[in-house]
A and B are shown apart, each in its own frame.
Chain A
Amino acid sequence: GAGVSQSPSNKVTEKGKDVELRCDPISGHTALYWYRQRLGQGLEFLIYFQGNSAPDKSGLPSDRFSAERTGESVSTLTIQRTQQEDSAVYLCASSLGAFLPRNTQYFGPGTRLTVL
């Protein structure tokens, strides 16, 4: 089927506003990752969902960041009270299972967030 999709592709917001980013993983993929990529930097892990297990939130940079996933489908990443340092490309990836060497991560196109 289709690959990983993300929306919106671009989001410009004002400092202090809340934003919600959406990720639609590949159907049947139980693992879902959110990453942040700041300009000139590598991908920074944010949060990981695997099936019905509790998510690994160890990468979330502050309590302004939260994410949810409905079963094994759509996930939303919410950033409250956005700051200028939140400006980045937010990438979502999904894989069939959790063990990375045997399960390829498929990435979405990303959401470019700009906080003015």
Chain B
Amino acid sequence: AQSVSQHNHHVILSEAASLELGCNYSYGGTVNLFWYVQYPGQHLQLLLKYFSGDPLVKGIKGFEAEFIKSKFSFNLRKPSVQWSDTAEYFCAVNEGGSYIPTFGRGTSLIVHP
């Protein structure tokens, strides 16, 4: 069965620090990749996604993620975080022909002002 690993469960940064959250998956075939974010008190929402084309994907609020097929990874990055980026971040993967995503357990990011 497909699995998704988010190795960093809790990350604490100061404003302006750079961010990289890891995401690795186990499926060897065609995949679609997603990062979701849940800000405090808000619904889970899509941050960015990859399904074809340029493996470097730009999302909202200055986030980006790079799909590295050889490493089975889809790490999330932001060069300079803000206090408002404090949230829970979830990586999700679905196999090319499937409509059911598998989610990682999430990373809690706290950004100190």
B101 touches A45 (CB 8 A): yes
With A107-B45, A108-B43 already in contact, the answer to whether A59 and B100 are too (CB < 8 A) is yes
12 intermolecular pairs with C-beta atoms under 8 Å apart: A31-B99, A40-B105, A42-B106, A45-B102, A48-B100, A99-B99, A100-B32, A100-B99, A101-B51, A102-B51, A104-B49, A108-B43
Q: With A and B bound together, what is the CA distance between A45 and B99 in angstroms?
A: 11
Residues of A within 8 A of B (CB): 3-4, 31, 33, 35, 40-45, 48, 50, 56, 58-59, 91, 93, 98-102, 104-110
Q: Is the CB of B43 within 8 A of A109?
A: yes
User: What residues of chain A lie closer than 8 Å to B67, measured between beta carbons?
Assistant: none
Q: Considering only CB atoms and an 8 Å cut-off, how many residues of chain B contact the other chain?
A: 24
Chain B residues within CB distance 8 Å of chain A: 4, 6, 9, 32, 34, 36, 43-46, 49, 51-52, 90, 92, 94, 99-106
